[in-house]
Amino acid sequence: GDSVTQMEGPVTLSEEAFLTINCTYTATGYPSLFWYVQYPGEGLQLLLKATKADDKGSNKGFEATYRKETTSFHLEKGSVQVSDSAVYFCALFPNFGNEKLTFGTGTRLTIIP
Amino acid sequence: DTAVSQTPKYLVTQMGNDKSIKCEQNLGHDTMYWYKQDSKKFLKIMFSYNNKELIINETVPNRFSPKSPDKAHLNLHINSLELGDSAVYFCASSNHRGRGTEAFFGQGTRLTVV
């Protein structure tokens, strides 16, 4: 079945550091890929998405590129801020089969000033 | 206006009780979901409804019964609550078969069974 593997957390970085959160997936065909963010006490919000190979999703300084050859969708940001502290989820939606969002385990990110 | 709204936000109840969580979306989506988030933040789908029809029912105990009176509402009723049901429950909605269509999530209902 479909699955998403995310980098284990928690991750703690200093403000303005470079961020990478790794995400790889297993799915048949070409799923759509997403990064969601969950701020403390809130629901999930879509951060960015990509629907086909080599697409790059970007939002709020975050980027992720859909790499079919490595089945990856790593999240990056060049300079993190304290306000980026949250839990980040990688997810996929298959292009056929059981149509549901499958999430990774989440990565808790803490940015210290 | 809140896109996906759940009530209540917090629910504390005793073992053995029956409780319901309500969810409404005003986005015009045709598909709604219930997800359970455990204490380690792991998210697992429980149910999915499309146009009031159940399309996904993961291995969830029969004590959990979703009800969709119309496309905009998906409620979750839980019978005979157990300690292990304590979690945050998220409702979400999206358009079915929309490739790349994002799911919108509610704020969550934190259920504590004591």
How does pLDDT run across A71-96, given as a tens digit for each residue?
999 999 999 999 999 999 999 988 77
Q: Answer yes or no: is pLDDT of A27 > 60.
A: yes
Q: Give, in order, the Cα–Cα distances in Å from B9 to each of A37, A92, B1, B12.
A: 19, 27, 17, 10
Report pLDDT for A95: 77
CA angle A104, A110, A112 (to 5 degrees): 165
Tokens read off for B106: 């509610």
Residue A11: other Cβ atoms inside 10 A: 17
Type of residue found at A85: S
Report pLDDT for A38: 95
As a whole number of angstroms, the distance between CA B74 and CA B50 comes to 10
Quick one: closest CA in B to A42, which residue?
Answer: B107
Considering only CB atoms, A103 lies closest to which of B43, B97, B104, namely B43
Q: Which is more confident, A66 or B55?
A: A66
Q: Is A25 exposed, middle or buried (0-12, 13-18, 19+ CB in 10 A)?
A: buried
Q: Answer yes or no: is pLDDT of A2 > 60.
A: yes
Q: Is A100 exposed, middle or buried (0-12, 13-18, 19+ CB in 10 A)?
A: buried
As a whole number of angstroms, the distance between CA B75 and CA A106 comes to 26
Cis bond before residue B8 (omega within 30° of 0): yes
Tokens read off for A30: 């070409």
Substitution target from A30, A99, A102 for chain B, most B beta carbons within 10 A: A99
Q: Is B102 within 8 Å of A99 when comparing Cβ atoms?
A: no
State the distance between the two ends of chain A, measured CA to CA, in whole angstroms: 41
Considering only CB atoms, B41 lies closest to which of A43, A46, A106, namely A106
Considering only CB atoms, A44 lies closest to which of B40, B45, B90, namely B90
